[in-house]
Every structure is written in structure tokens, then in C-alpha cells.
Homo-oligomer: A and B are copies of this chain.
Amino acid sequence: MPRVTDSHRAGRRAEILTAAARLFADNGFHATSMAGIIAGSGLSAGAVYSYFRSKEELIGAVTDLVSTTADEVFGELLADGATPSPAAVVTAMVEEVTERFITDSVIGVDMSRLAVQVWAEALRNPEVLARAGRVVTGLRGHCAEVARRWQAAGNLPAAVVPDQVGAAMLSLVQGYILQRLLLPGTDGAYYVAGMQALLAPSSMLAASSVSGET
């Protein structure tokens, strides 16, 4: 038998996933046909269906890919014990989105476009909603942790609920993704400037550096 190596098999799977992600990013999930994915992957229908049982499973896999990428992109923001300001964290998130999310280095697909498709799909597909909700919860939790530290440092009133602040911080990133796709000319620097002005109207320099990994 063609005892193909595991890595080869995983590579094939990744190729199919990449082709699907590229088409999904361009046309959305339901305006993309399996025939297109099959052609894009360079394989046959039967081969594709031996790696993914159905189109829905492919959608789920791409959703996971977006989720994983999002986690990776934002996961390092609080690697150490720093207490950056919310404005600095949102700035860092916007920059990370611009550099690593909009054109993913691994497969060269605009993950921000996929994210919007995932949001829309989540409204009708309970499984996608569950996955997407988990990611959003996680990201909001990271932001809430920032708010908690900022609060502990005395920069926020004690009565403030960190998770609530985290929700607003996450919104600033989601809105950036959305407006950049919908409105030409909304780039990272343009957006960050307004966000920082909104968050620190009196003193313009509340931002300190945000650490990456150690």
C-alpha cells in the first residue's frame, strides 16, 4: 500500500484547508462550492472527501483555523507581569492584527475577512457559534485581565468590573477589523491615533510598551 508518511498526509490536509480558506475568504462559506475547493486543492473530489467528511466539517476546520490564529496573535500580550494601559494593549492588538492576522504568514490568507464570515456563520450554525463564542470569550478575558491589573495599579475605580472594560477594549479591535475592510483608507496608524485620543483625552501618553514573549 502507499504507506504515505504522516507528515505527508497532514500536509495534504493542510493544502485542502488552505484552498478552502482562500476561497471562503473571497466568497464566504455558502457562495463557495466544493467543486471550487476541489479544483483549488489540485486533488479529486474523492480525495478531498477522504480528508473532510463534508463541507460543514471544512467550515468547522476553517473556523478553528481562524480561532487558533487569533489566539496565537493575541496570546502573547500579557506574557509577563506587566501592567500596560488599555490603550497600549489595544494599540498592540491593532498592530498585531495588521501584521499577522490580515495576511497570515502560514497560508497567506486574510484572516480578518474569514473572521467576518465566521461571525455571520455563527448566527446560523450553532457549532460555529460555540467555537466563535469561545474565542471571543477568551479574547475578552485577556482584555479583562489588562483592566484588572490597570485597576489594581490604581488607574481605574474599584467599582469597575474588569470584564466589562474588556468587552469595550475588544470592540475597538473588532471595529478596526470591520472598518478597515468596509472603508478604504482605514489603516492601523490612522485608527490607533483616534483610539488613543478617545481613551486618553487629557494626557496623551498613557501608553507604555507592551511586552511580547520573554
Contact = CB atoms under 8 A, between A and B. Distances in A.
B28 A181 contact: no
A81 to B, nearest CB: 21
For the complex, would chain A's binding face be called helix, strand, loop or mixed by DSSP majority?
Answer: helix
Contacts of A44: none
Most buried by B among A29, A86, A191, A198: A198
Interface residues of A, number: 60
A133 B137 CA distance: 28
A161 B28 contact: no
Interface in A183-214: 183-184, 186, 190-191, 193-195, 197-199, 201-202, 204
Contact of A27 (B26, B119, B124, B193): B124
Nearest to A31: B30
